Amino acid sequence: MNTPTLARHEVDVEDVEYIRHGDKPLLARVYQPRGEGPFPLIIDLHGGAWTKKDRLSDVATCEGLAKGGIVAVALDFRMPPAAPAYPASLQDVNYAIRWCKANAGNLKSTPGRVGVLGVSSGGHQAMLVAMRPNDPRYAALPLAGGAKFDATVRCVVLCWPVIDPLGRYRYAKEKQVTGDAKQANEWISSHDLYWRGGEAEMDEGSPTRALERGEKTPLPPVIYLQGTADPAHPKPDLERFVAAYRKAGGRVELNWFEGMSQAFMSEHPTAAATGEAIDKIVEFVHREAR
């Protein structure tokens, strides 16, 4: 572990508006290490099955990154049922990456040191945006004065992502019969709200299946974190993604956390596993987003 990773920083926090849709602003909470920088910058995408939670969901993670010398920018983005379904949230994320690059100086970073982190459904969105930075559907929102920036990222942090939405949807359908039907019904309801195009759209928007189809995409380095007792993110989907990403030439650093369930970093912020996970992310980001 190199010296920048070990440095500890005081942190300043503020909310800023990064985009507005009509009369509705979308905010980003910026966790900024004190010091001159420049620091690497990570955009945080919360989970909540594409339909719930907000930029305050990953406070412990964002604070940990900022204390480790990384600017963390936690986003609100459009979500159904109050807002359009896929790909609206990906448009906001793609825009936010470009916005962070255009404003990198004020954020104590540089345009070339921007990465993305996602939790659960946010992990799906993080990986898909990273693989398709110039997809015209996702890059549809113009950035005033920021035309020279695209949405490519230096690295991706995946915290128990829904890495194959169609695989998880079918897993939930099975669980309706063989497992926790109440939880499965909630997953299915959220999938149906976000993926209005049904299974065909889930297939098209799956990072795993895009790779398996041979789609040629950027392959930024990935760190993948998951608990061994996670009931919500099927291990076979993880294994298929890791195999496909590596086969395509990408690097994936896979980290298992023994006995941990889903959302352990937000639900158990003082647990030893959470501290270990944040340390691994900090080291990875400093190494890959130099």
Reduce the secondary structure of 139-197 to three states and give it as a string: CCCCCCCCCCCCCCCCCEEEECCCCCHHHHHHHHHHHHHHCCHHHHHHHHHHHHHHCCC
- The residue type found at 173 is K
> How many CB atoms within 10 Å of residue 257?
22
Task: Quote the pLDDT of residue 5.
Answer: 41
User: What percentage of residues in the chain have a pLDDT greater than 90?
Assistant: 94
Query: At residue 240, what are phi and psi to the nearest 5 degrees?
Result: -65, -40
- Mean pLDDT over the full length of the chain: 96
Contact (Cβ atoms closer than 8 angstroms) between residue 197 and residue 186: no
pLDDT of residue 6: 54
Long-range contacts of residues 14-23, Cβ cutoff 8 Å, at least 24 apart: 18/75, 18/95, 18/96, 18/99, 19/92, 19/95, 19/96, 19/99, 19/141, 21/78, 21/83
Distance of CA 231 to the CA centre of its chain: 19
Report the predicted TM-score, pTM, of the whole model to 2 decimal places. 0.96
Res 3 pLDDT > 80? no
pLDDT at 221: 98
Q: Quick one: pLDDT at residue 146? A: 75
Gap between the Cα atoms of 29 and 154, Å rounded: 21
- Encode pLDDT of 57-110 as tens digits: 999 999 999 999 999 999 999 999 999 999 999 999 999 999 999 999 999 999
Residue 242's pLDDT is what? 98
Give yes or no for a cis peptide into 38 (omega within 30° of 0).
Answer: yes
Q: Read off the pLDDT of residues 9-32 as tens digits, 9 standing for 90 and up.
A: 999 999 999 999 999 999 999 999
pLDDT, position 132: 98
What's the CATH number where 182 sits?
Answer: 3.40.50.1820
pLDDT single digits (tens) 149-174: 999 999 999 999 999 999 999 999 99
The CA distance from 97 to 92, in Å, is 9
Residue 220, preceding bond cis, omega within 30 degrees? Answer: no
Decide if pLDDT at 1 tops 80. no
Q: How many domains does one find in the chain?
A: 1
- What range defines the domain where residue 185 resides? 3-288
